[in-house]
Structure 1
Amino acid sequence: MTVSIIHALLRWILDVCAPGTGRRRADARPAGPSPAGDPAAPGPFAVRLPVHRSPYGLPVLLDGRATAPVRPYVLAAERAHRERELEWARQRRRRVALVLAADFGVDLDRHVIGAEMAA
């Protein structure tokens, strides 16, 4: 008998203090149909989101060879390094051309029509 009193007291305390289970709201539905006719239909401005599908639940296996295992920031860093090296090579060629023109009198613009007359 003492156990049943303890159980009843604990149940009453849990009913008062614990959060609701949602059973009371399960029956609280709108009494009449919505203006669209379907009680489950969203309003005119509501947008339904697509159902979330996990890629792990797909029946088709993903092919690991079809995707590159390199992060995009690695590719961006390599591209920037390549562009920097190309710019250094262009600058090196310009410096050599200036040295040839200044020290040895080699005119590198002879292929331009009319450049001989201007020089």
Structure 2
Amino acid sequence: MTVSIIHALLRRILDVCGPGTGRRRAGRRSAAVAPARMPERPRLVAVRLPAPRSPYGLPEFLDGAATAPVRPYVLAVERVHREREREQARQTRRRVALVLAADFGIDLDRHVIGAEGVA
């Protein structure tokens, strides 16, 4: 009993949501259908193309100041190398300051107020 109810419900849902069968259109036919005419093709007109020219023979000259002399990725690599060298120089200065402070007792932080007597 429940299986037949489920089948009936599914069949009803499929009838509503499923694709059409075409039965409604099967009985309708138009009385006179005119044969379709082919549209006229437009006439082609021959257009003369300009003569091909070499871009190397143009009278304009390239401005060297307006163009970039080096590719941007080369400049980016050089910038990274400069930043790396600066960071290595800072690290070297920090290491020297640490060695001077640890081994020789030299205080390099004289700018701190009240720190003269501590070291």
- Report the TM-score, using the length of structure 2 for normalisation: 0.48
Hey, which of these two has a bigger chunk of helix by percent?
1
Larger Rg: 2
Q: Which has the higher contact order (CA 8 A, sep 6+)?
A: 2
